[in-house]
Amino acid sequence: MQDIKINIQNSDGSITTLDAPTDMGLSLMEFLKGNDYDILATCGGMALCATCHVCVVEGFDKLSEISADEYAMLDTLPNITDTSRLACQLRLNDALDGVVVKILGDS
């Protein structure tokens, strides 16, 4: 199994591309935290806090379907977008290869 590319859109609009392993069962949130991105992950990945809120800039159509719990959490946010997801609910897999995300956190 080979690594995939995860692209993070920074606040200045630039893109940082990281190699992400798909064989460790990591969520996107765990991967981003492990790469020193400012994600609180207060609930530990249970879709209860939305501190790992991301906007999927490119590749949203390739993602797994959103769960009712995840949607309910996102629906409470003032800055929800049409392509919002919780990074804790996205497992690193081949479908995420090349995705572009912007970290919105709990702002």
106 pLDDT more than 70: no
Q: How much is the pLDDT for 1?
A: 61
Q: Which residues contact 24 (CB under 8 A, 6 or more apart)?
A: 92
The domain defined by 4-103 carries CATH number 3.20.20.60: no
Q: State residue 33 phi and psi, 5-degree precision.
A: -60, -40
Q: Tens of pLDDT along 88-100?
A: 999 999 999 999 9
pLDDT class for 105, splitting at 50, 70, 90?
Answer: confident
pLDDT digit string, tens, across residues 36-80: 998 999 999 999 999 999 999 999 999 999 999 999 999 999 999
∠60-27-50 over CA atoms, to 5°?
A: 75
In the predicted structure, residue 12 carries a pLDDT above the cut 70: yes
